[in-house]
Amino acid sequence: MGRRLAVRSRLRAALTAGRSAGAAVWRSVWLPMWRRSSGRTPTGRRRHTAQFLFSRMLLLPALALTVLALAGTAYLDLDGRTEQLRERYAPAMVELAHARTSLELAHREATLRLRGNDGEPLIQTDLVGLGEKYPSLLTEAAQSLNNAAQTKALRAQQEQEVRVVSGLVVAYGDWIGWADSHHDSEVLRTAGMDYATSLLGTSAKSDDPTAVLNRIKALEEELRADASELSGWTELSTVTAWGALLVVLVFVLAVVGTLDFVLAQLRVRSPLLTLYALPVLLALGVLVLGAAGQQDAQRKVSKAGAELSGVSATEQAADTRIEVVDEELAVGLRGTHPGAWTLASELALAVGAVGAVASGFTLFHYGRRHLRILWRTP
């Protein structure tokens, strides 16, 4: 029984303390803010009508346009980085994955043709050499490297690395061709295959950073790191987003206070002022939803990069898996293309700006007689 009484007394004390703190905050923060927003002096009296309307005629559009500018800056920053990920980094990661797996499959095909299952060339090697599959895969790898360099996702040093890799792929093809041309000689064939294998990086020394496959893997890792840096909130988008949130709170408080003042002093209910203020809030809502979509798209690019790096020629239908990831990524990024959220955000910003300007003209219309008297007074 004593414990229950002690718990109840503590709860009452906590509630009392909470009420006291809330009352203190109301008296010291919210009450002065409300008085100022509704055109009252610290003593509670109403301010001069003409002066108040003139100040709000300028303040409300300024606050609304500031909200739109800050929110638009945050959104466009996210949208610009998503565009880079969509148009540059995602295609580059897909092409590098294609190049890596094509080289692995090409080497597997060349090894099968020149070494078979018992270390000897296949019988058909005498007739058709390396066949059609090997050169096709090697050409695909070279084309994928060239496509990756043209995506503009690579820095100058990375582009130079791709050119080096392309040269090494040509050298690898030359050594495989040399081994094929000497396939009747076990010594020469083995020497050519061993050197080509070490050049590609599929031998026991596969941890050699100068090998072709390891160079491509390093490029993929760098691209994923660069894409990760582009994803998420930067300092610019973070500061402007928080700034927009704070300013919109001030804007809402100013609109509500202005409506209270107009009703009390002019005996006018103003649905128009409310109507013109709503587009600003709706524009902010559209931008928030658009920013959420951009962030989701950025996460999909990072996820796709991780999946692509895990695809290897040891899997069945590696190329098909890469195409599936590429298609899934394209579907996920489709909503971030111009014409979707980008166009909706631009329209929302335009409508919000019109509403901001219209709110100022509405207040001018309400107080034009008071303003004439104010401006005529010497």
DSSP 8-state symbol, 313: T
| Element at 253 (helix H, strand E) | helix 235-261
Q: Is residue 23 part of a domain?
A: no
- The pLDDT confidence band at residue 57, using thresholds 50, 70 and 90, is confident
CA 104 to chain centre: 32
CB burial string 117-133: b at 16+ within 10 A, e below: eeeebbeebeeebbbee
- Answer for the pair 219, 145: CB distance below 8 angstroms, yes or no: no
Winning range, highest mean pLDDT, from 10-14, 196-200, 306-310: 196-200
pLDDT, residue 69, reads 92
* 24-49 mean pLDDT: 64
Is the residue at 305 inside a domain?
Answer: yes
Between helix 318-333 and helix 271-310 the angle, nearest 10°, is 170
Q: Compute the average pLDDT of residues 249-253.
A: 90
- Residue 39 located in a structural domain: no
Q: Is residue 38 part of a domain?
A: no
C-beta atoms surrounding 276 within 10 Å: 25
Measured CA to CA, the distance from residue 359 to residue 56 in angstroms comes to 9
Element (H, E) at 268: none
Q: How far is 216 from 165, CA to CA, in rounded Å? A: 8
Q: Residue 378 above 60 pLDDT?
A: no
Whether the pLDDT of residue 20 is over 50: the answer is yes
pLDDT tens, position by position, 129-175:
677 888 888 998 999 999 999 988 889 999 999 999 999 999 988 88
Inside any domain, residue 43: no
pLDDT at 254: 87
> What was the pLDDT predicted at 266?
74
Residue 95 CB partners (closer than 8 Å, separation 6+): 144, 145, 147, 148, 151
The residues, ordered by sequence, that sit 6+ positions from 34 with a Cβ below 8 Å of its Cβ are 40, 253, 257
In a domain, 197, yes or no: yes
pLDDT in tens, 285-326: 888 888 888 888 888 888 888 888 777 766 556 666 777 777
Among candidate residues 83, 77, 75, the one with its CA nearest the CA of residue 349 = 75
CA-based radius of gyration for the chain: 34
**Range with lowest mean pLDDT among 27-36, 48-57, 85-94:** 27-36
Tokens of 207: 């941890």
pTM: 0.76
Q: Is 170 exposed, middle or buried (0-12, 13-18, 19+ CB in 10 A)?
A: exposed
**Cβ atoms of residues 227 and 305 within 8 Å:** yes
**Euclidean distance between CA atoms 150 and 83, whole angstroms:** 16
pLDDT value for 208:
75
Query: CA-CA distance, 292 to 300, in Å (whole number)?
Result: 13
pLDDT digits (tens, 9 = 90+) for 334-350: 666 655 667 777 788 88
Residue 340 pLDDT: 62
The encoded tokens of residue 75 equal: 């959104």
Distance CA 199, CA 212 (A): 6
The per-residue pLDDT of the chain, averaged, comes to 79
Tokens of 110: 């060349």
Q: Tell me the sheet residues that pair with 46.
A: 40
Count the domains in the chain.
1
Task: Provide the pLDDT for residue 245.
Answer: 92
Model confidence at 259, in pLDDT bands (50, 70, 90)? confident
Under a CB-based contact definition with an 8 Å cutoff, are residues 359 and 61 in contact?
yes
- Count how many Cα atoms sit within 13 Å of the Cα of residue 80 in the half-sphere of its side chain: 10
> Across-strand partners of 40?
46
At residue 25 the predicted structure's pLDDT band, cuts being 50, 70 and 90, is: very low
Of the candidates 350, 356, 344, 355, the one whose C-alpha atom is nearest the C-alpha of residue 79 is: 344
Tokens linked to 331: 């579907």
How buried is 217 (Cβ within 10 angstroms: 0-12 exposed, 13-18 middle, 19+ buried)?
middle
Report if residue 303 sits inside a domain: yes
From 202, 211, 205, 176, select the one nearest 190 (Cα to Cα).
176
Q: Phi-psi bin for 160: left (phi > 0), alpha (psi -120 to 50), beta?
A: alpha
Range of the domain at 137: 49-376
Please, how many CA atoms are within 13 Å of residue 266, restricted to the half-sphere of its CB?
22
Residue 335 forms part of a structural domain: yes
Q: Which residue has the tokens 């998420």?
A: 232
The least confident of 20-24, 335-339, 362-366 is 20-24
The three-class DSSP label of residue 51 is helix
